[in-house]
Amino acid sequence: MTRQLDLSDPLARETAAERGRLADLYADLRPDHWSAPSLCAGWRVREVLAHVTMPYRHGTVRVLRGIAAARGDFNRFADRIAREDTARLTDAELLGALRDNVEHPWRPPGGGQAGALSHDVIHGLDVTEALGLPRPPADRVRDVLLGAGPRALAYFGADLTGVRLVATDTDLTVGDGPTVVELPATDLLLRVTGRSRETASG
């Protein structure tokens, strides 16, 4: 029997809901949208979706061998396999990989369910912000920010020393510094992850 998300877990329900929401949005993309640049530097929309669906299509052994071939550099491996996958798969096949795995139980190593939700929401924003598509619900973004520990923030290079982030559209406060930044939750997440329509990192 195929394993699925434990939908009794609120974070798992949000993960499935976000994947379904994104699949619906991607289903309406025009052909030129798929080749449009995303907020992830060097990746088009199709490379982002190839990356998001990689855990559903490639087993652990394949991924570990790929990382080893990239001399332990996961980002180099991720870039290489995303480009290889978009060269051999159609956009419809990539979309199908997302649609068919809305309840897939994948979690990033050491990230837990919060990490899985974060992965889908952040990479979803790489596409939706670039194309001007609807944003995820503010409460879902709140869950991502509340689940982001020091390790995740350090990965994105975020330094919240002396800063307190306050969402204007949901009940969220991150940090306790004297400098207050008030923005919608999605804008706070984009800021924390170094993403914008002008400059971004994958």
Is residue 154 very low, low, confident or very high in pLDDT (cuts 50, 70, 90)? Answer: low
Least confident segment among 3-17, 55-69, 122-136 = 55-69
Residue 81 has pLDDT above 60, yes or no: yes
Residue 95 and residue 89: Cα distance in Å, rounded? Answer: 10
For the chain, the structural domain boundaries read: 10-142
Contact 165, 174 (CB under 8 A): yes
Q: What is the model's pTM?
A: 0.91
Asked if the model's pLDDT at residue 198 lies above 70, the reply is no
What's the pLDDT at 149? 72
| CB 144 within 8 Å of CB 117 | yes
Specify the residue for token string 């030129």: 32
Q: Which alpha helices (H) appear in 44-159, and where do they start and end?
A: 45-57, 60-69, 74-88, 91-99, 112-131, 138-147, 150-155
